[in-house]
Copies of this chain bind each other. A is one copy, B any other.
């Protein structure tokens, strides 16, 4: 059936996985992480302009599917993301995602993009932004416990944004550690594979936990965490899933993205609902204190918030302009006359 080609209002730029890989490679991963961090920091500075809501989760025994919308009144964004720890067994990603940026004035999408890679990048960039404000001065050594899909992105973000030069890696599966070691050859980081979490945290000023089991787990026990340390807890993202022993939380200064969501999903679900936390955006604007003392234990209880995805989508939208890093997708019906949707069908049939 011959059809008229789609009109310009019907086309939405689409960034496929292949295009996203090309974008990362052409940008350079550390440069892209730094650019994403800058976009995220910009948006955290204007946090109050955003509509905020805890993400809308659909839980099942196998995992969770979430929608994460936000808007600054001019641009709207949402991400679709799943979390299915057992996916790995069938060769699938634990976390996959895609997202959309849209124009608030018309409701028309401006961009559709893969976000599996982009989420890994924005999560690492957000962690590094938080650590820039919270980690001890002149931190050089980071432990990364959990060497799955997120591990190398964390290492490179902390190198690019926080000056980390050494990463100490541990995973209950040594093959995951070996994979990360191999991937980080030539990155400029000193990479130390470790055989226990205790060994990994030795001498580290920053400890990142990014494990994926959907259960209460104790990746770090209280005796493993000394003073003068920044904890970057990434892996908690579900009710019932935590990584840190409660005693660590009780002696940490806790920083979060959006309290109503973190209370449900983060490490602090182990604490009383009124336990004091500081919002990261307020540290960035200067309205709240970050690290007050070199001997403090700071904890970024990160669960991932929609504004970070908004920033990442905004970055990609800006970045692909004038490039060949997208394809136009015939996503929106565009009749000659807006009210004549049925006529468009009739003409297609003719």
Contacts and interface: CB of A to CB of B under 8 A. Distances in A.
A contact face: mostly helix, strand, loop, or mixed: mixed
A340 B24 CA distance: 16
Contacts of A60: 71, 73, 104-105
A65 interface: yes
A332 B92 CA distance: 10
B76 A9 contact: no
A29 interface: yes
The size class of the interface chain A forms with chain B is: 35 or more
A83 interface: yes
Given A62-B105, A96-B108, A120-B341, 8 more contacts: A9-B92, A53-B56, A60-B71, A67-B69, A98-B109, A149-B338, A149-B339, A182-B343
A114 B332 contact: yes
B106 A84 contact: yes
B69 A92 contact: no
A102 interface: yes
B69 A58 contact: yes
Nearest to A4: B18
Given A179-B339, A330-B17, A338-B93, A25 B78 contact: no
Interface of A: 1, 3, 6, 9-10, 14, 16-18, 20-22, 24-26, 29, 51, 53, 56, 58, 60, 62-65, 67, 69, 71, 73, 76, 78, 80, 82-84, 87-88, 90-94, 96, 98, 100, 102, 104-109, 114, 116-117, 120, 147-153, 176, 179-180, 182-183, 329-335, 337-346, 348-349
Nearest to A342: B152
Given A56-B56, A90-B106, A108-B96, A17 B22 contact: no
Given A21-B348, A333-B114, A149 B342 contact: yes
13 contacts: A3-B21, A56-B69, A58-B76, A62-B106, A63-B106, A65-B71, A80-B100, A84-B107, A87-B107, A93-B332, A114-B330, A152-B342, A179-B339
A82 B58 contact: no
A147 B80 CA distance: 35
B349 A65 contact: no
B14 A329 contact: yes
A165 to B, nearest CB: 19
Nearest to A78: B67
Contacts of A3: 18, 21-22
A180 B105 CA distance: 28
